[in-house]
Each structure stands twice: as C-alpha cells, then as structure tokens.
Amino acid sequence: MPRTYSPFRYPGGKTQLYDFVLQLLSLNSTCNTYIEPFAGGAGIPMKLLLNGQVNKVWINDYNKAIYSVWDAILNNPNELIELIQSVPFDYYSGHKVSPNFSVNFWKNQKNIYDKNKNHQHSIELAFSTLFLNRTNTSGIITAGPLGGISQTGKTQIYVRFNKKTLIDKINLIHSFEPQIKLTRLNALDMIPMMRSTVNPRDSFIFFDPPYFEQGHGLYYSSFNEQGHKDLAKEILSLKQYHWITTYDTAPQIQEDYKMAKQKYEYSLNYTSNNRNRGKAVEFMFASPITTLHSFAKVQLTPLV
C-alpha cells in the first residue's frame, strides 16, 4: 500500500497528524463519519477511510481547481488516467523526449489551468491542477516547475511524477466512491448543512482553514480577516459536535477563539522546502465535549 493515500503532493499538510486524529476518533467513539471542510489534499480522510478506520468521509473544498481533481477521481477516473499516461516524462523514465519538450508540456498545462480554473467539472482543469501540483516547486499550483524552466536544477520536473503510483491511488480511491461525500461549499454555508444532516454522536470534524497569515499551500486563499472571524463564530457554536480546529498563531486568531473552552499550542515539524523552519508552533482549539490529550508527535500546551 502507498505511504500516502492522497494523489496530491502537499508539503506542510496535516497528514502528519494522522496518528493523533486516529486516537481522537477512538477516545470520542466517533468512527462513523469523518469530515474536513477544508480538505485540500485530503491526506487524513483518505488514509482513515482506506485503512478501514471510519465508515465514510465528507471532503469539501471551495477552491474549484482542487474540487475538480476529487470530482474527476470519483466520477471520471478513466479519462484522468489517460491524461496522466500522456505526460512525456515520468519518475522512472525521466524526460522521454527532451527537457525542453517536457517544459513546453508544462507550459501548456499552465495555460490550460489559467483558462479553466473557474470550471469546476472540467477534466482538463482536474488534470492540469494535479499535474502542476506534482511538478511544481513545493507542490504550489502557482509556482514554477521543479528544476526551473531551463531544467538545470538538481531536482528535475519528473521526480515527483510517478505515473504508476498516481494511477494506483486514483483507482483505489475511486473504489471507495460510495463512502465518499464530495462538496464544494463555502465553510460558512457548510456548517449549517452539517447541523441538519450530521449525527453529532458518531462524527468528527477537523477544521484546517487557510492560515491567517497566508503561508504556502496548494493554492492562494482569498479568506480575509472578516472571513476568519465569521468562521470562528460558526465553529464555536458547534458545542454538541466533536471537532478540532488548527491555525497559525496570529494574534487575531487567538482573539477570535478566546471563548473556546479548549485552547492549546502544539508544534508541527515542517519538511521539504521548509527544512530550515524546524518545528512550527500552531494553535489547536477543540469543542467542549471533545476529549483530547497529547499523543505521538503532538504535544499539547494549554493556552492561558
């Protein structure tokens, strides 16, 4: 089985919290439905589902490009796989024609992404998004290709594009399609829907919003200061649900969540191009009924 289950390459993602989250599900007896309103690469929900730790997952991402990839995997995997097979380079084969040919292919996909990024059901957008994530610096959609346009860098454009692994992941995830709910909702609209459709006794929600002080990710978020404030109000109203929320340690976030009953700092070890950063301290908030404590790599320090 693959080391990671998501087809996305997402340095800095929260997949390293998997063991901690798995323990939370056990502590709170919430192993039926796992929900991520800001799913992105969905590393944790895919691993939980494919390992049989939960019965179903609900993944949501408001970004049309990211949504399009999950939509293609669940509803149109064969066409997505055909496009992956058409790429003129691979982890094993390297540049099949030439570095220049590979970069021209990359430029074409960048143009396709720019033209289609508002078409959430476009297979072309799905492929270009996944392709750019796999071939760009740090997996950032808007970054340049690994190795640079000239392909003179030590790391070449093909080193994170393993066709067989990608195709295997897509087929495996698609086989679980009946147990995956996919939506593209603003989180502020999703929370009322959860209240009306989700049983609070056997579900768990992991809110991982874009950082207040925008950092690296799959894409740039347009979440503004008021959006973070409104989101905090909605999340804190979910008193009867089991949830955690993670954030960067911006003073505004501490203010927005000052009424949270459970407030912590914890450290997260960032890797890849963030090696020099070492351990980053982040906030974690939890609902009043959620049982949690330090586990594995996650050491919680209560906020005063």
Same domain, 90 and 49: no
| pLDDT of the residue at 2 | 53
| pLDDT of the residue at 64 | 96
| pLDDT of the residue at 213 | 82
| pLDDT of the residue at 84 | 99
| pLDDT of the residue at 276 | 47
Say which residue, 154 or 146, is predicted with more confidence: 146
| pLDDT of the residue at 215 | 54
Look at residue 231 and tell me if it is in a domain.
yes
Same domain, 293 and 237: yes
Look up residue 36 and give its DSSP letter.
Answer: E
CATH number for the domain that contains residue 56 = 3.40.50
Same domain, 48 and 137: no
Count of domains observed in the chain? 2
Look at residue 2 and tell me if it is in a domain.
no
Same domain, 200 and 294: yes
Neighbours of 3 (CB within 10 A): 7
pLDDT band at 297 (very low <50, low <70, confident <90, very high): confident
| pLDDT of the residue at 291 | 98
Q: Average pLDDT of 71-83? A: 99
Q: Is pLDDT above 90 for 66?
A: yes
Do residues 134 and 161 touch, judged by C-beta distance below 8 A? yes
Look at residue 180 and tell me if it is in a domain.
no
- Tens-digit pLDDT profile for residues 98-122: 999 999 999 999 999 999 999 999 9
Same domain, 191 and 294: yes
Whole-Å CA distances, 53 to 141, 182, 235, 297 = 31, 19, 25, 20
Whole-Å CA distances, 206 to 68, 134, 230, 272, 287 = 21, 25, 17, 24, 11
Look at residue 176 and tell me if it is in a domain.
no
Q: Is pLDDT above 90 for 10?
A: no
Same domain, 279 and 203: yes
- Tens-digit pLDDT profile for residues 248-285: 999 999 999 999 999 999 987 655 444 445 578 999 99
Which H/E stretch holds residue 74? helix 64-75
| pLDDT of the residue at 12 | 58
**Mean predicted lDDT score pLDDT of the chain:** 93
Same domain, 34 and 87: no
- Tens-digit pLDDT profile for residues 192-207: 999 999 999 999 999 9
| pLDDT of the residue at 224 | 84
Q: Is pLDDT above 60 for 52?
A: yes
Look at residue 208 and tell me if it is in a domain.
yes
Same domain, 197 and 167: no
Q: What is the pTM of this model?
A: 0.93
Of 138, 171, 204, which residue sits at a domain end?
A: 171
| pLDDT of the residue at 275 | 46
Give the list of residues 6+ apart from residue 119 with CB closer than 8 angstroms, or none.
Answer: 64, 68, 125
Q: Distance between CA 123 and CA 112 in Å, rounded?
A: 11
Give the residue numbers spanning the domain of 231.
14-62+185-302
CATH number for the domain that contains residue 107 = 1.10.1020
- Tens-digit pLDDT profile for residues 227-253: 999 999 999 999 999 999 999 999 999
Same domain, 90 and 234: no
Look at residue 26 and tell me if it is in a domain.
yes
Do residues 242 and 203 touch, judged by C-beta distance below 8 A? yes
Whole-Å CA distances, 189 to 60, 67, 193, 195 = 11, 16, 7, 11
Same domain, 278 and 203: yes
| pLDDT of the residue at 222 | 63
Residue 49 corresponds to which tokens in the numbers above?
Answer: 């589902």
Of 144, 171, 198, which residue sits at a domain end?
A: 171
Look at residue 104 and tell me if it is in a domain.
yes
Look at residue 58 and tell me if it is in a domain.
yes
Same domain, 198 and 106: no
Do residues 66 and 218 touch, judged by C-beta distance below 8 A? yes
Q: Average pLDDT of 126-138? A: 97
Same domain, 247 and 205: yes
